[in-house]
């Protein structure tokens, strides 16, 4: 396997992996436009909050139990917890925790959740292979760019076929990011993408089980390992993406390689990332958004509601039509609970979907007053809400595009609120405030590993959260 830059017998498609690797190695921080850089920072802040927020989930507990007996030198932090493990296992565990609440980020064109595989790999490695915050951010943006471009090249067929694209594309993102951070040569970067391709995996059948969040965790770990193997000159194919028996042909009927190699450094997929405002099925989001706005407008009258009528996209009732949820998890699939909880408690965060809250008498009482009709003409990101009060007065709200959709991105302040709400439950207010400030200051850190350390509160005995 030797680098051959100028083989004129190759078709343009024959150098997809090579051209991508060349770009990954050559791109510098200055090549990243400020607006993309800023989105990268928002991606990092949001990811850190989600990783801490999910850190005490049962899924992470089980994964840690299986992992600890095999962990190497404890260089790296399980975010928001006390355990330290080797960097590859930390990448795995933080990738799980950042996705387990279904509350992370979304590249809307491919439904990839980009940060989990990439940021989890980078921060874990930063604790043993020091890198500045600025270098970590550069590598994060490059990794996200790579996974989303590879995702674009095969989406939607690849996803429709049943691949969990966050796992299958994510492993390339992690390999690219870690490879960038540790300074692989062009030759090694091509191998890293090849070794990543041979670990591209994750089935949609796993949705609804712990194995769903396993996918970004394993993608982070496997992608990082691909880069480390390549660094040790473990070789691989240099056409792993485009070869006839490579990633795109084997795992998809669609292959659009221009999505991968065209306008590299000009068109930035990493600038298109979005952040989930609520910790539940995305089809409920317009209703929560509207109810939160109404809550502000009606004040104490929330205690005198006679009925709440929703007109929604048909998919909403198909996916989230549970009338009488009994558990927090079921609450994530009940538009009625979500509406009542948003109105009464102003909450769409993980705290809104606990066993306790789902069974509160006041919530149940209002939930039973909520009804929903579907309207085929309703956009998925829209809803109409009509509230009638006990005195017969009414108020209505039309949500044209919900917060968190591409038209209404979360503001920095909203990202902060999301971060604080979930992280404080796990590591407390003080540590949360400090961590959040630390995340926004990523680029000023001489040693990015500081972020991981700050995520663990001093007393090391965080509150148990759902």
CB of 201 to a second copy, least distance (A): 4
Query: What Rg value do the Cα atoms of the chain yield, rounded?
Result: 23
Per CB under 8 A, does 250 bind a second copy?
yes
Dist CA 343 CA 338 (whole Å) = 9
Q: Please pick, from the candidates 41, 243, 272, 316, the single residue that binds a second copy as defined by CB under 8 A.
A: 243
Distance CA 101, CA 421 (A): 13
Query: Minimal distance in Å, beta carbon 430 to a second copy?
Result: 32
- In the three-class reduction of DSSP (H, G, I as helix; E, B as strand; rest coil), residue 77 is classed as strand
11 binds a second copy (CB under 8 A): no
Choose, by CB under 8 A, the member of 49, 173, 194, 271 that binds a second copy: 194
Q: Is 204 in the site for a second copy (CB under 8 A)?
A: yes
Q: What is the rounded CA–CA span in Å between residue 95 and residue 69?
A: 19
Q: Is 464 in the site for a second copy (CB under 8 A)?
A: no
**Is the Cβ of residue 7 or residue 28 nearer to a second copy in the bound state?**
7
- By the rule CB under 8 A, 232 interacts with a second copy: yes
List phi, psi (to 5°) of 346: 65, 35
Nearer Cβ to a second copy (224/445): 224
Which x/- pattern over 44-63 shows residues binding a second copy (rule: CB under 8 A)? ---------------x--xx
Position among 138, 239, 287, 402 found at the interface with a second copy (CB under 8 A): 239
Closest CA to 17 of 188, 240, 227: 240
Kind plus residue range of the DSSP H or E element containing 440 = helix 412-440
Residues 134-173 within binding reach of a second copy (CB under 8 A): 161-164, 167
In three-state secondary structure terms, 397 is strand
Question: Near a second copy by CB under 8 A, which window of 144-152, 189-197, 302-310, 337-345?
Answer: 189-197
Which of 84, 215, 332, 337 binds a second copy (CB under 8 A)? It is 215
Q: Least distance from C-beta 114 to a second copy, angstroms?
A: 19
Distance of CA 73 to the CA centre of its chain: 28
Round to whole Å and give the CA distance between 217 and 63.
Answer: 10
Over the window 77 to 116, marking each residue x when it contacts a second copy by CB under 8 A and - when it does not, the resulting string is ---------xxxx---------------------------
- Pure H helices in 100-203: 115-126, 133-154, 157-161, 165-168, 170-181, 186-197
> What is the distance between the alpha carbons of residues 242 and 341, in angstroms, rounded to a whole number?
49
For a second copy, the closer CB: 88 or 150: 88
Contact with a second copy (CB under 8 A) among 10, 233, 411, 463: 233
Nearest to 45 by CA among 112, 119, 95, 144: 119
């Amino acid at each position: 396997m030797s680098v051959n830059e100028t083989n004129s017998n190759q078709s343009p498609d024959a150098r997809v992996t090579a051209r991508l690797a060349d770009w990954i190695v050559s791109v510098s921080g200055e090549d990243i436009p400020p607006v993309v850089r800023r989105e990268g920072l928002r991606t990092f802040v949001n990811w850190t909050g989600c990783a801490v927020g999910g850190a005490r989930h049962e899924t992470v507990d089980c994964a840690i139990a299986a992992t600890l007996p095999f962990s190497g030198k404890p260089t790296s932090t399980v975010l928001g917890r006390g355990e330290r493990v080797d960097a590859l296992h930390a990448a795995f565990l933080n990738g799980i925790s950042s996705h387990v609440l279904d509350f992370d980020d979304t590249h809307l064109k491919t439904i990839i959740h980009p940060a989990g595989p990439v940021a989890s790999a980078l921060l874990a490695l930063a604790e043993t292979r020091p890198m500045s915050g600025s270098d970590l951010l550069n590598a994060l943006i490059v990794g996200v760019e790579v996974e989303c471009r590879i995702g674009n090249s095969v989406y939607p067929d690849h996803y429709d076929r049943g691949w969990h694209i966050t796992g299958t594309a994510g492993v390339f993102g992690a390999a690219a990011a870690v490879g960038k951070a540790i300074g692989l040569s062009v030759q090694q970067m091509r191998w890293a993408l090849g070794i990543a391709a041979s670990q591209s995996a994750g089935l949609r059948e796993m949705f609804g089980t712990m194995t769903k969040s396993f996918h970004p965790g394993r993608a982070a770990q496997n992608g990082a390992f691909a880069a480390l193997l390549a660094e040790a000159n473990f070789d691989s194919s240099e056409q792993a993406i485009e070869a006839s028996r490579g990633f795109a042909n084997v795992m998809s009927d669609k292959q659009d390689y221009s999505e991968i190699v065209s306008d590299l450094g000009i068109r930035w997929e990493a600038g298109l990332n979005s952040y989930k405002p609520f910790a539940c099925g995305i089809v409920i989001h317009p209703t929560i958004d509207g109810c939160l706005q109404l809550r502000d407008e009606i004040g104490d009258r929330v205690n005198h509601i006679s009925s709440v009528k929703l007109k929604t996209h048909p998919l909403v009732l198909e996916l989230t039509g549970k009338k009488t949820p009994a558990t927090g998890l079921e609450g994530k699939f009940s538009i009625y609970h979500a509406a009542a909880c948003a109105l009464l408690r102003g909450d769409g965060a993980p705290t809104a979907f606990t066993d306790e809250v789902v069974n509160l008498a006041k919530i149940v009482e209002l939930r039973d007053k909520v009804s929903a009709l579907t309207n085929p003409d309703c956009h998925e990101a829209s809803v109409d809400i009509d509230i009638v009060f006990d005195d017969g007065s009414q108020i209505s709200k039309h949500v044209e595009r919900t917060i968190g959709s591409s038209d209404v991105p979360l503001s920095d302040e909203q990202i902060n609120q999301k971060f604080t709400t979930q992280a404080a439950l796990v590591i407390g207010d003080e540590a949360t405030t400090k961590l959040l400030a630390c995340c926004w200051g990523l680029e000023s850190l001489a040693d990015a590993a500081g972020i991981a350390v700050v995520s663990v509160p001093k007393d090391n005995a965080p509150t148990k959260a759902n």
